[in-house]
Amino acid sequence: MSLRRSILLALMALAPVAAAQDYPSRPIRFIIPYPPGVGTDTVARLLNPDLIERLGQQVVIDNRGGANAIVGTDIAAKATPDGYTMLFCLPANLVINPAYYAKLPYDPSRDFTPLIHLDNLAFMLTVNPSLPVKTVADLINLARAKPGQLNFGSSGLGSSPQMASELIKVMAKVNMVHVPFRGGGPALAALMAGEVQFWVGTVISQLPHVKSGRLRAVAVTTKNRLASLPDLPTIGETLPGYESVIWHGVVVPKGTPAAIVRQLNAAFNSVLRLPEIAKRLRNSGVEPVGGTPEEFAALIKSETVTYAKLLKEIGMAGTAR
């Protein structure tokens, strides 16, 4: 090998190190694959000011909604892996879509490096007050007495709320009908209007309507009862082993330098540990998590298997085009 080639290879090897040492030297794009105003957007914007402070550089939130989060996710997958693009992720775009769609323009395992598991978002099962249901057992018994006559809403085909309800169907072995809507708002409105009998949605979006009497809370989908709602049982207390939560996380394009991944992970963990941030998240039914990239990678791997199995059981695997 010539001296010139040896020097060139050495410089190329040092380039990522030098880049990491100077990082960040310009604004970082934080892609949210949903429109402004939805829950994912709210969490990202809550963390953003403190994240900017720790990184010493602007973090620009870039909402790229469309096609069940495929549009924004694909943009991130094709971005340069230099640490200046991050993607906000959740089950829909990382583990549900790959099982639901016959073909995607991105592959989570091929195109992304996990950065951090931000939080878990609790769901709550609610019913229209006209329904004679106060417990999960009541709902299951009614579904068995009236097979195919109970309808449940969701924010769309392949959405996390649908998956949470489908899991109840599978575990309880009951026949209930899914009615997809174009977003959580329309689904919630349909429930209050009596167009569907129940749905599983976020705690924060439903709690005001529960307090006003327009909805009846039945249970939460978390493994343990929520500290903020200690008297509300979990679905798992009736269906042992049941758990369904939305997790939020961050990934970066595959090939992002390891030193930058560690730096971003440390910054996010620092923000999640702030007492005021943790308090505001918990008041919204969101439990901060944090941790290492490796821990988040393990969660993604486990959830990929779980959702692939569920979608196959309900006949939805590979059905979306």
Q: Is the pTM value of this prediction over 0.95? A: no
Does the pLDDT at position 164 exceed 70?
A: yes
Cα-atom radius of gyration of the chain, to the nearest Å? 21
* Model pLDDT, residue 127: 98
* Model pLDDT, residue 3: 58
How large is the average pLDDT for residues 277-302? 93
3-state secondary structure the chain: CCHHHHHHHHHHHHHHHHHHHHCCCCCEEEEECCCCCCHHHHHHHHHHHHHHHHHCCCEEEEECCCCCCHHHHHHHHCCCCCCCEEEEECHHHHHHHHHHECCCCCCHHHHEEEEEEEEEECEEEEECCCCCCCCHHHHHHHHHHCCCCCEEEECCCCCHHHHHHHHHHHHHCCCCEEEECCCHHHHHHHHHCCCCCEEEEEHHHHHHHHHHCCCEEEEECCCCCCCCCCCCCEHHHCCCCCCCCEEEEEEEECCCCHHHHHHHHHHHHHHHCCHHHHHHHHHCCEEECCCCHHHHHHHHHHHHHHHHHHHHHCCCCCCEC
Does the pLDDT at position 193 exceed 60?
A: yes
Among residues 71, 72, 77, the alpha carbon closest in space to that of 111 is found at 77
Q: Do the Cβ atoms of 120 and 282 come closer than 8 Å?
A: no
- The residue with greater pLDDT, 64 or 184, is 64
Q: What is the mean pLDDT of the chain?
A: 92
Distance CA 19, CA 95 (A): 31
Domains in the chain, start-ordered, CATH in brackets? Answer: 3-120+246-313 (3.40.190.150), 123-237 (3.40.190.10)
Q: How confident is the model at residue 282 (pLDDT cuts 50, 70, 90)?
A: confident
How large is the average pLDDT for residues 173-187? 93
Lowest average pLDDT, out of 15-19, 22-26, 202-206, goes to 15-19
Q: In what order do the strands lie in the sheet with 151-154?
A: 177-180, 151-154, 198-202, 123-127, 216-220
* Model pLDDT, residue 205: 85
- At 71, the amino acid letter reads V
Q: Bridge partners of 199? A: 126, 153
Token reading at 291: 């941790």
Among residues 129, 144, 120, 122, the alpha carbon closest in space to that of 232 is found at 122
Does the pLDDT at position 162 exceed 80?
A: yes
* Model pLDDT, residue 20: 65
- At 119, the amino acid letter reads D
Q: How confident is the model at residue 19 (pLDDT cuts 50, 70, 90)?
A: low
Among residues 294, 158, 1, the alpha carbon closest in space to that of 166 is found at 158
Among residues 71, 116, 104, the alpha carbon closest in space to that of 252 is found at 116
Cα separations in angstroms, 64 against 35, 76, 107, 215, 249? 7, 10, 18, 32, 16
* Model pLDDT, residue 12: 52
- In terms of Cβ atoms closer than 10 Å to its own Cβ (0-12, 13-18, 19+), residue 22 is exposed
Q: What is the pLDDT of residues 222-270, one digit of tens each?
A: 999 998 899 999 999 999 999 999 999 999 999 999 999 999 999 999 9
